[in-house]
Amino acid sequence: MPKVIVIEDQKPVRDSIGEILEIMGCTPHLVGDGQAALDTLLDTHFDLITLDLNMPSLDGLSLAEALSAQHNPNYDTPIIVISAYLSNNTLSSLKQLGIKYWLPKPFGASELLGLVRKTLNLKE
């Protein structure tokens, strides 16, 4: 079962993503704060990171930069950015950090399922 950390400050969205991941056989770890997520990511390996950009204490882009800047258990873990704020500048920054996957909010369950399967190379 792939371990996925869900980093999202809005509880209803975080819970929905977690439920979708459980349905597809993943083990979600739900975190609502960027700094708490970074602390967890520096100690525990995950197979996938889903990341909101607009969060209190540490925004998603800063979190992704911190992960890519230092050796840690998730240095090469794929990231799916899930955000309502995906401007061209933001997408350019994500690409510079090596992030290849993003999903605009609002999104459907099938869109998330498809992207997680693609990112983790899972069969339907």
Average pLDDT on 72-77 reads 92
Q: Which residue has the higher pLDDT, 75 or 4?
A: 4
The whole-number pLDDT of residue 123 equals: 78
Structure pTM? 0.94
Helix residue ranges per DSSP H, 7-87: 11-23, 34-41, 60-69
Domain 3-120 in CATH 3.40.50.2300? The answer is yes
pLDDT at 69 over 90: no
Per residue in 5-54, pLDDT tens?
999 999 999 999 999 999 999 999 999 999 999 999 999 999 999 999 99
Q: Which residue ranges make up each domain of the chain?
A: 3-120
Q: Are 26 and 4 in contact (CB under 8 A)?
A: yes
